[in-house]
Amino acid sequence: MFKDLDPLLHSQLRLAIVSLLVSVEETEFSFIKEQTNATAGNISVQLDKLQEAGYIKIEKTFKGKYPLTKCSITKKGIKAFEDYVKTIQQYIQPGK
């Protein structure tokens, strides 16, 4: 029997964001925007959802006069990502 996929990570943009954060641990909003090619508004909405779930941490500060948003993955986020990957692997290779 197939396990359910995490609905929060089963969104292309949220999965892309978490994938980036797993590989870099912390990054700026601008890097996420550059890598995903998504709009700032859409990224903001998805970051809020991931933060509400406890998958990421968002830190808002200023760099000079400009706002700076940094995102990092939490232990819960890493576990959710690892579980998601394992579940996908079960879909790809059933019976293993």
DSSP summary character for residue 4: P
Rounded to two decimals, the pTM is 0.90
Rounded distance, CA 55 to CA 72, Å? 9
Give me the percent of the chain exceeding a pLDDT of 90.
Answer: 85
CATH number belonging to the domain at 12-90, selected among 3.20.20.80, 3.40.1390.10, 3.40.50.10490, 1.10.10.10: 1.10.10.10
Helix (H) or strand (E) holding 23: helix 12-24
**Strand residue runs (E) in 1-96:** 26-28, 56-63, 66-73
Q: What are phi and psi of 6, to 5 degrees?
A: -60, 115
In this predicted model, what pLDDT tens digit does every residue of 44-83 receive, in sequence order? 999 999 999 999 999 999 989 999 999 999 999 999 999 9
The domain limits of the chain are: 12-90
Pair 45, 17: CB distance under 8 Å = no
Give me the percent of the chain exceeding a pLDDT of 70.
Answer: 98
Instruction: Supply the pLDDT for residue 96.
Output: 63
